[in-house]
Structure 1
Amino acid sequence: MNDSLYIKGATVSLPSGSEKRDIVVEDGRITGLPARYANIKELPEIDAEGLTVLPGFIDVHTHGGAGIDVNAADEEGLRTIGRFFASQGVTGWLCSVLTDTPEQTLWCMEQARKVIEGGPYDGAPLLGIHLEGPCLSSEYKGAMPEHLLMHEASVDLFRTYQEASGGHVRYTTLAPEIPGVEDLIPQLNALGITCAIGHSGAGYDESITCIDAGAAAITHCGNACRLFHQHNPAIFGAGLETDVYVEAICDGRHLHPGSVRLYLKAKGWDHVVAITDSIMAAGLPDGEYKLGVNDVVVVDGDAKLASTGVRAGSTLTLAQALRNIMAFADTDVDHAVRLMSDNPARLIGFAGKGRIACGSDADLTLVDASYEVVRTIVGGRTVYQA
């Protein structure tokens, strides 16, 4: 019965808005949302008086945290990241593998597979893998190693990675201008992989062609991509105009708060996905770190490549992103939390996650009046408690 419980006295963030409700959890799923106390099955109780219960956070784009880099993380390293993320309200995440050698990438697939298939542990579950590359633009490579980028798309390499992962590659980033990407997208969709476009200098027409082919998102829109021009709105304009999702790094560095508001105005509250794009330095002091094969220096929480000074991921957490979005958009927690719960769940196709409703997985984040995380619950099991 350790995945069954009764949460009483909370303010609950429901799809329709916050209400005073209790939450009944049985066998890891939400089975009731009574308006007043009704623990008729005498389930173990959590007193959540004074707290708000949010749908658990999902990070679909992160390269690490707590001193662990995804590209170098073995099985236990990935669990260490997951434990740190649980302390930040995360109840599921994708490990983003930076463009690397095929040999190292295959090793990463094997480590991730072990964790994904290894069952519950005391942290945020690894739900799948995000391949950031290798079909990316040299001009907009960001922190991607130039010599490892592919200049012609090949489904064979992705099929090899998908087989090695046990089918757990769920998401990838592609640049539309790389020859073959337009044809690759539907093939990857058929392998169960959601495609985003980004790290790209693609023009508007190229971008629209890939969206029509099945691309579902723009990777960290506004960062490492060609920007809007009135004569060629480019990938940026295509992302804001169409119905695709746009990822947003809401740390106040990658995007001005006005840009976050623009995305919300253009896309609505249901097509912006808050990501961290965090590196191993998340949760740690300033210093020298790694991002894949790159050396990174963090000063005042800002991560940049040691060699060029180009920004290289972030030290953001989703708990901080929640508070930032509320401030940037002058909005309530019910709106802000959609960007890191329901929206990423729908983007990647995580059925039963991302919202508090009967039948949904009991993946819950409990926050105090300052929106600091005090408890994280995955499938009815507490995986973090402040």
Structure 2
Amino acid sequence: MELLLRHGKVYQNHGFAEKDVWIKDGKIVKVGENLDALPGIGSEAKILDVSGLSVIPGLIDIHTHGAVGVDVNSAQAEDFEKICRFQASQGVTGWQASILTDTREQTLWAIGEYRRWKQLPHEGATLLGIHLEGPFLAKEYKGAMPEHLLKTPDLKLLKEYQEAAGGDIRYITVSPEVEGVVEAIPEIKKLGMAVAIGHSGADYETARRAIANGAASATHVGNAMRLLHQHEPAIFGAVLEDQNVYAEMICDGRHLHPGTVRLILKAKGVEHAVAITDSIMAAGLPDGFYHLGVNEVVVKDGDAKLVSDGTRAGSTLTAVRAIQNLVKFTGKSLAEVVPLMTENPAKLIGIYDRTGSIAPEKDADLTIIDENLEVVYTIARGNCCYPQSK
């Protein structure tokens, strides 16, 4: 498919300028002015006038457990495809399936369904790979994790998972204070996974050692995490201080107060923050009873909590709402917050060479939004177009 986007406000180099974007065979060919006059653009090219609209890199959600009635842990390949189509309606061109801590058998089953999804005819956002949230996590900060399945590092098991995934486990969350985790981080990285620290009550020194050993990110900072104290900065303080580690943020107004979002961004800068949804199967659906892995969840007024004890369990947030909230909470411009769900997550999980910005030879992953920051079109790997679901 060949497509020419004309007269859009195109996001490049952290700013907007009116330009055209030429797309062919799923790739961006050229970005510039008056491209329709260039030789080489085929007569069959579809021309889409996006005057007055903002063209940004496709949104990337690296931490989500499901949507539209599908839970990642129990999803079949065809169910992953449902999430892909929904994600595209929300401006997402790429997402990671976050597998909540589960049994070895169920985790391998979920990984197998991911591999089967890769063989299916596909529409919508691309499933980029897998995020393992656990099982090497602290019981005291388990959140929605089943406590009896948490364990100390097992590199043999992790290698089995990665081999089953064909190398597509890109990201894993671990707790630094769990015995053996800090020492295991370099070996986990050798398996091809970016390491995030979270679900943790680690003290400052232990968290610093984890970062020094190669932890690249922190999972939903401020949630399921020991918080800052003036005498003991803890993991929260270590993450805020260190510019070598990214900070995930759930910007739904529930998990983090808007003032906390502003504080994190002041500490990290927009270069080292990543917006996530941490969404569950209830995203895109009304209030009611759902599940998250092995847990029963009730959603009331859009707020997801465990039935058992009221612990908050993921969110019903969508990616485009996260971007809208970032602008609302911080007063920053769209140009300033775009990297939090494009460039930064792409760099974190090692795919920035092919997506995350608008540049020639990169995948044609684009989100087109209006002045109210609502999705008008999503273009995923050159496939146009996925309008927003109402």
Same fold, TM-score > 0.5, yes or no: yes
The aligned residue for residue 33 of structure 1 is 31
Separation of aligned partners in 2, 1:202 and 1:230: 15
| Residues 290-321 of structure 1 deviation map (CA, whole Å, 9 limit, x = unaligned) | 00000000000000000100100000001000
The aligned residue for residue 154 of structure 1 is 154
1:385 Cα deviation (Å)?
A: 2.4
Separation of aligned partners in 2, 1:334 and 1:6: 23
The aligned residue for residue 188 of structure 2 is 188
Residues 15 and 356 in structure 1, CA contact (< 8 A), matched pair in contact too: no
2:18 is aligned, of 7, 20, 24, to 20
The aligned residue for residue 6 of structure 1 is 4
Q: 1:159 to 1:265 in 2, by over 3 A?
A: same
The aligned residue for residue 110 of structure 1 is 112
Separation of aligned partners in 2, 1:284 and 1:372: 18
1:37 Cα deviation (Å)?
A: 4.6
Amino acid aligned to 2:179: P
Separation of aligned partners in 2, 1:250 and 1:118: 34
Amino acid aligned to 1:191: L
Separation of aligned partners in 2, 1:357 and 1:128: 23
SS in 2 for 1:139: helix
Residues 65 and 280 in structure 1, CA contact (< 8 A), matched pair in contact too: yes
The aligned residue for residue 360 of structure 2 is 358
The aligned residue for residue 290 of structure 2 is 289
Separation of aligned partners in 2, 1:279 and 1:77: 13
SS in 2 for 1:379: coil
1:79 Cα deviation (Å)?
A: 0.8
The aligned residue for residue 47 of structure 1 is 49
Alignment of 1:1-386 (within 5 A): 2=1, 4-40=2-38, 41-42=41-42, 43-115=45-117, 117-118=118-119, 121-150=122-151, 152-242=152-242, 243-350=244-351, 351-386=353-388
| Residues 226-282 of structure 1 deviation map (CA, whole Å, 9 limit, x = unaligned) | 001112211101111112000000000000111111111111111100000000000
Amino acid aligned to 1:190: K
Separation of aligned partners in 1, 2:9 and 2:262: 27
Separation of aligned partners in 2, 1:143 and 1:39: 56
**Count of aligned residue pairs for this structure pair:** 382
Please report the TM-score for the alignment, with normalisation by the length of structure 1: 0.97
1:358 Cα deviation (Å)?
A: 2.2
Residues 122 and 383 in structure 1, CA contact (< 8 A), matched pair in contact too: no
SS in 1 for 2:185: helix
Separation of aligned partners in 2, 1:322 and 1:94: 18
1:162 Cα deviation (Å)?
A: 0.5
User: Any unmatched runs of 5+ in structure 2?
Assistant: none
Amino acid aligned to 1:125: T
| Residues 164-213 of structure 1 deviation map (CA, whole Å, 9 limit, x = unaligned) | 11111000000001111112111111111000000011000110111111
Amino acid aligned to 1:317: T
- CA-based RMSD: 1.2
Residues 10 and 19 in structure 2, CA contact (< 8 A), matched pair in contact too: yes
1:27 Cα deviation (Å)?
A: 2.3
Separation of aligned partners in 2, 1:163 and 1:355: 30
Residues 22 and 35 in structure 2, CA contact (< 8 A), matched pair in contact too: no
Residues 14 and 336 in structure 2, CA contact (< 8 A), matched pair in contact too: no
Separation of aligned partners in 2, 1:36 and 1:52: 17
Amino acid aligned to 2:230: Q
Identity %: 54
Amino acid aligned to 1:282: A
Q: 1:71 to 1:34 in 2, by over 3 A?
A: same
Separation of aligned partners in 2, 1:75 and 1:97: 14
1:82 Cα deviation (Å)?
A: 1.1
Greater shift, 64-73 or 374-383, is seen at 374-383
User: Any unmatched runs of 5+ in structure 1?
Assistant: none
Amino acid aligned to 1:369: E
Q: Which runs of 4+ in 1 moved over 6 A?
A: none
1:119 Cα deviation (Å)?
A: 6.4
Please report the TM-score for the alignment, with normalisation by the length of structure 2: 0.96
Separation of aligned partners in 2, 1:363 and 1:385: 14
